[in-house]
Every structure is written in structure tokens, then in C-alpha cells.
Amino acid sequence: RSAVLNGCRSRLRHQKVVDRAPTDNTSAAPATPEQAAVATDEQRRVLDALRSLPARQRECLVLRYYLDLSEAEIADTLDISAGSVKAHAHRGLAALADRLEEDA
């Protein structure tokens, strides 16, 4: 019984995240090929740095800054406390900044 409930809760949490994801690409296109190359390189660096983070930190950062969820929504989605969300996000941002400085 609890396995079924946990599976349903997980599916509902996942669906909430999917429903909140942006569906259109509203970002402005770079004006020049050089700007496009710089933007692409920066995006690659950020994605590489994100991928190197522990899973929970990465999840908190993506949900907070990409999907714009509140701490309470992230806590509910990941089934952790709001304090844990704050801690993981803080540590994740610090680690992300360190990794991006190393690459610069």
C-alpha cells in the first residue's frame, strides 16, 4: 500500500514540475554570430557546472532559478523541509560559483 502511495505522490510531484516548465523559447536571439558563440559557451559552462553538483543541490537550483518555484513548492516537490531546500540551494550556489570561477 505505501509503495503505491509513494509512487502516486512521486508522479504527482513530477507532473507539477512538468506543468510549470516553460514551453516557449522567449529569450532574444543574439545580434551577431560572435554574441551567439559567447552565449553558447557561457550556457555550456553553466550546464557543465550544474551537472557536476550533487543531485539534491542541482535539483534545488533548477527548480528555484529555472522553474521559479518557491522554497515551499520545492520542499513539497522533493519531499524535504524548507530548511533543507535553503541549505541545498545555498551550498549549490556557492559550489556553482566556485566551479565557474575555476573555468574562467
CATH number at residue 86: 1.10.10.10
Domain presence at residue 91: yes
pLDDT recorded at residue 21: 61
Ranges of residues in the chain with a pLDDT under 50 are none
pLDDT recorded at residue 89: 95
Give the residue numbers spanning the domain of 104.
Answer: 53-104
pLDDT recorded at residue 94: 94
Domain presence at residue 45: no
Cβ burial, residue 57 (10 Å; 0-12/13-18/19+): buried
Domain presence at residue 82: yes
Domain presence at residue 74: yes
pLDDT recorded at residue 44: 86
pLDDT recorded at residue 65: 87
Domain presence at residue 3: no
Alpha-carbon gap, residue 73 to 31, rounded angstroms: 37
Domain presence at residue 5: no
Give how many domains the chain has, as a whole number: 1
